[in-house]
């Protein structure tokens, strides 16, 4: 199953790398393979592509349980936001989800 999901995600990304959902799918594949750093990277890309998609944030919060070193500061550095109000809303939501 993870191999088929991997193939589908790679195909979707090859067709259009700007699809946040493809990166979210790839993050799930990475989690299945215990590739936590890559999963986080894919989720960060998905959020960067579509900052209004709540699924990316929810998945990222879930991923925190497997990678407790992730922090709000790390995310701020990796996923720059021009809209500071949106960044604050997202930060508040991630804090509630357990990110520090």
**Band (79; pLDDT cuts 50, 70, 90):** low
Residue with tokens 């604050």: 88
The per-residue pLDDT of the chain, averaged, comes to: 77
CATH code of residue 12: 1.25.40.10
Residue 1's pLDDT is: 52
- Domain extent, residue 73, equals 2-97
Spatial CA neighbour of 30 closest among 17, 45, 19: 45
Residue 100's pLDDT is: 73
**pLDDT for 8 beyond 80:** yes
Looking at residues 7-34, what average pLDDT do you find? 85
- The string of DSSP codes covering 39-65 is HHHHHHHHHHH-TT-HHHHHHHHHHHT
**Band (3; pLDDT cuts 50, 70, 90):** confident
Looking at residues 6-29, what average pLDDT do you find? 86
Q: Between 48 and 62, where is the model more confident?
A: 48
The domain tally of the chain equals 1
């Amino acid at each position: 199953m993870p191999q088929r999901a991997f193939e589908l995600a790679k195909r979707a990304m090859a067709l259009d790398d700007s699809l946040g959902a493809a990166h979210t799918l790839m993050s799930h594949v990475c989690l299945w393979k215990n590739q936590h750093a890559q999963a986080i990277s894919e989720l960060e890309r998905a959020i960067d592509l579509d900052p209004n998609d709540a699924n990316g944030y929810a998945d990222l919060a879930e991923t925190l349980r497997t990678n407790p070193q992730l922090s709000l500061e790390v995310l701020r550095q990796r996923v720059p936001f021009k809209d500071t109000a949106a960044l604050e809303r997202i930060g508040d939501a991630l804090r509630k989800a357990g990110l520090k």
